[in-house]
Amino acid sequence: MIVVAVVGPTATGKSDLALDLAEALSAPGAPAEIVNADAYQLYRGMDVGTAKVPPAERRGVVHHQLDVLGPLEDASVAQYQAAARADLEAVDARGARAVVVGGSGLYVRALLDHMDFPGTDPQLRGELEERAEREGRRALHAELERLDPQAAASIGPHNTRRIVRALEVIAITGAPYTANLPRQEYVRPAVQIGLDCDRATLDARVEARVERMWRAGLVEEVAALASPAQGGHGPGLGRTAARAVGYAEVLELFAGRDEDAVRADITANTRRLARKQMGWFGRDPRVRWLDAGSPTLLADALAVVEAADAGTLPAPGSEPVRRSLGS
């Protein structure tokens, strides 16, 4: 069964649409299930600041990949890929529809597309780094150019870290480095529905979301997670969790920053995140864009799913260009 993914920038209503779709696409004895693709909603306790749908508001729809990490753990795209793909397999085996929802572009790609994560070899990497010091990075780049000209042209001769990584991957896999790069090619049938809105509307939505989060207890949530050394009274926020928009700024509040300045920073950084997300998803011609504010949004989304199921969706790039977030 075709996987339905709801993607796009933050504050466009992806979670609400995913729930609506899950209800509408459920069949007798095979209710649709949701698979999260938001990197920070993986964390237990990070609820308010990630706009995680509370259990009481999930309408009885089963959710996967929520609350699977402790706040001190570092999220791994490779681990997420394995776990979330297993969820898709299990949902499909039950004869049910999977609805993926999230704005973390790399996680969406890792789940839906051909994307491999070669391992690492510390000894080999150390040897390559030592060679870079001894022979110079241009010597390693010349070797990469011989083994994988496309990778060498893409990386260039000045980025030692990426040159070393490319040579490490080639040695580990026995294949060109470029063979392991993600391709816009689904590993299982899927359709992506993107939610779009104009900049002024999105900015207003972001501002309203930050206000709701503040009232809902964002500061208290961060305090309950952060360690005493971070200004809280909890176990601590790890490197990844502490970088999340909202959490990073509240940690600065605990360090003595002005509250109004912190709230303004959260709003500005959330807007910046939304533009970054739109840039990521906007480069994927397979995304079918819909107006997030349309009164017929659910019907429009169901029409996309129906066309995907029937194999009648227009080829990527053949539809009118979507409205730009910055227009």
| 136 in a labelled binding site | no
| 12 in a labelled binding site | yes
Cβ burial, residue 289 (10 Å; 0-12/13-18/19+): buried
Q: Which residue has the tokens 């496309």?
A: 150
Residue 163: closest CA among 135, 143, 183, 134: 143
| 118 in a labelled binding site | no
d(CA 17, CA 269): 24
Sheet containing 190-196: which strands, arranged edge to edge?
A: 63-64, 33-36, 98-101, 3-7, 190-196, 287-291
Residue 132: closest CA among 108, 101, 112, 157: 157
Three-class SS of residue 210? helix
* 58 token code pair: 């999930």
| 201 in a labelled binding site | no
| 174 in a labelled binding site | no
21, 32, 87, 157 from 27: Cα distances, Å: 12, 7, 18, 55
Task: Give the chain's end-to-end CA distance (angstroms, integer).
Answer: 36
* Length reported for the chain: 327
Phi, psi (deg, nearest 5) at residue 101: -145, 135
| 314 in a labelled binding site | no
| 15 in a labelled binding site | yes
Helix extents (H) in 183-258: 199-216, 218-225, 247-254
Residue 244: closest CA among 109, 101, 71: 71
| 60 in a labelled binding site | no
Provide, for the chain, the percentages of residues in helix, strand and coil under a 3-state DSSP scheme, each rounded to the nearest 5.
50, 10, 35
Annotated binding site for ATP, which residues?
8-15
Which positions make up the binding site for substrate? Answer: 10-15
Q: Which residues are annotated as part of the binding site?
A: 8-15
